[in-house]
Amino acid sequence: MPDERPSAEGPATFREVFDQREFRAVFTAGALSWVGDYVAKAAVTLLVYQQTESVALSAAAFAVSYLPWLLGGPLLAALAERYPYRRVMVACDVIRMALMLLIAIPNLPIPAVLVLIFAATLANPPSQAAKSALIPQILAGDRLVVGLSLNSSIGQAAQVVGYLLGAAVAAIDPGLALLINALTFAASALLVRLGVRDRAPLMTTAHRSHLLRETAQGFQIVFGTPVLRAIAVLVFSAMLFSIVPEGLAAAWANKDAGGDLDAGVAQAVIMVANPVGFILGGLLVSRLFGPARRLALMRPLAVFAPLVLVPALFDPPPLVVALLAALCGFAVAGMLPMANGLFVQALPAAFRARAFGVMATGVQVIQGVAVLVTGLLAERFAIPLVVGVWSAAGVLLMTVAALRWPDQQTVNGTIAAAVAANAESPVSQPDPDGPTSGGAAAGPEPRTGDGRRRHAVT
């Protein structure tokens, strides 16, 4: 009977993960593009609030980059299953680079800027789905869990750098922030093209069906499989409240203008607190605890994350708000890589890009909705009241999700089915440059005798 852990191995080290040349390339490329993205996001968000002094419009500017996920995220992510992952990632970076260069044209009307930003973010779903499906081909076992933690942590570190730099650049020229973003996409494309080995797509042309059907299969595998569905609920619930202090930071800081901290400094402190806590949580939990202990901590940390934000009800000063947000980020980072690693292990390899597209879309949409809804509520009620009550509801939601977690037998059965689906494929071959262990870490799409795609896990 398989172990519920993402690996039966002992704890992996950072050195073991970075010894993989391809992971270093993907890791660095992601860091660069993330920095550019957050530079642009912070600059635009602050600019909108300064011009309108509206909490709702500021929140809308922050959430605009999440809209493409709502309109076509899973459909666009399904495209990544049809083509080599490296080619998808490079093409998306080049497209985004070109669009950001257009946006940086001086005196471009703001509506045109927003339309081009929306078009650029349409490349995010296939790029992120391809990256998520590629990493398990590079890393396996507990190295995969540690690699996912490192990848999440560098994303948060890039967020800190991007927000701080974006706030500074916005005071000079928002177009400059967009130009920086274009340059980071160019560097990312170059790193992936030169540093990642080309692999054949898991879905060949002969076995394609309608794109809508393939997209629906991604939803079916995630929400039709009890273990994957439980992980999705846990992750989505965490995203529903952890983003709120960050999304309301500009208005939260300015409501106390004239206090001990300058409003701009207070905004920056609140915005970077959650990412800083996330970085510390991801790195410390991954290194201090082995796989079994991390698994045991996953659900308690999920409940603890919203719990630490409930004291916002008492209207603490910005530094205390930042501390609460940092503790929330720490807890989320402690549970998220383990949940992601278990998700990979319980998922047949042939559905990785589509399933990760569904998950990424859910995360993006839920974050955007959370910021928009709490922003609208904050127009009528005090921000501390909104955040505190919202977080208290999160405690209840996470508690229910933790209590309804599938039993050990269900988890083991799902993992065994995923491993069997990968092994049954007639074209499955070991990847000499990829993982050396972990049955769910590689393998092409499982098929029936007549060549049609089938679900190995139901």
- Encode the chain (458 residues) as per-residue pLDDT tens digits: 334 444 444 567 778 888 888 999 988 998 888 887 777 776 666 656 666 666 666 666 666 676 777 777 777 777 777 788 899 999 999 998 998 888 777 776 666 767 777 788 888 888 888 887 788 888 877 787 777 777 777 777 777 777 677 767 766 676 677 788 888 899 999 999 998 888 876 665 555 566 777 778 778 888 888 888 888 888 888 888 888 887 788 777 776 554 566 777 777 788 778 888 888 887 788 777 777 787 788 889 989 989 999 998 898 888 888 899 999 989 988 888 778 778 878 888 777 777 877 887 788 788 878 888 888 888 888 888 998 999 999 899 889 988 888 888 888 888 888 777 766 654 333 344 444 333 333 333 333 333 333 333 33
Q: Structure tokens of 8? A: 């039966």
pLDDT digits (tens, 9 = 90+) for 115-153: 777 788 888 888 888 887 788 888 877 787 777 777 777
| 83 contacts: CB under 8 Å, gap ≥ 6 | 201
Alpha-carbon gap, residue 345 to 419, rounded angstroms = 8
Q: CATH topology for 214-425?
A: Growth Hormone; Chain: A; (1.20.1250)
Q: Please check whether residue 360 is in contact with residue 69, taking contact to mean a CB–CB distance below 8 angstroms.
A: yes
Alpha-carbon gap, residue 305 to 309, rounded angstroms = 7
- pLDDT, residue 408, reads 81
DSSP string computed for 312-330: GGG---HHHHHHHHHHHHH
Q: Please check whether residue 145 is in contact with residue 292, taking contact to mean a CB–CB distance below 8 angstroms.
A: no
- pTM here is 0.65
Alpha-carbon gap, residue 446 to 456, rounded angstroms = 7
> 447 by DSSP, 3-state: which?
strand
Q: Please check whether residue 92 is in contact with residue 202, taking contact to mean a CB–CB distance below 8 angstroms.
A: no
Question: Which residue has tokens 């390339």?
Answer: 25
- pLDDT, residue 48, reads 63
- pLDDT, residue 434, reads 44
Total number of residues shown for the chain? 458
Q: Please check whether residue 312 is in contact with residue 215, taking contact to mean a CB–CB distance below 8 angstroms.
A: no
- pLDDT, residue 448, reads 30
Alpha-carbon gap, residue 306 to 396, rounded angstroms = 9
Q: Please check whether residue 252 is in contact with residue 321, taking contact to mean a CB–CB distance below 8 angstroms.
A: yes
Domain limits, CATH 1.20.1250.20, in the chain: 18-197, 214-425
Q: Structure tokens of 167? A: 């706030």
> 453 by DSSP, 3-state: which?
strand
**Closest by alpha carbon to 418, among 437, 436, 452, 445?**
445
- pLDDT, residue 138, reads 85
User: If one looks up domain 18-197 in CATH, what number appears?
Assistant: 1.20.1250.20
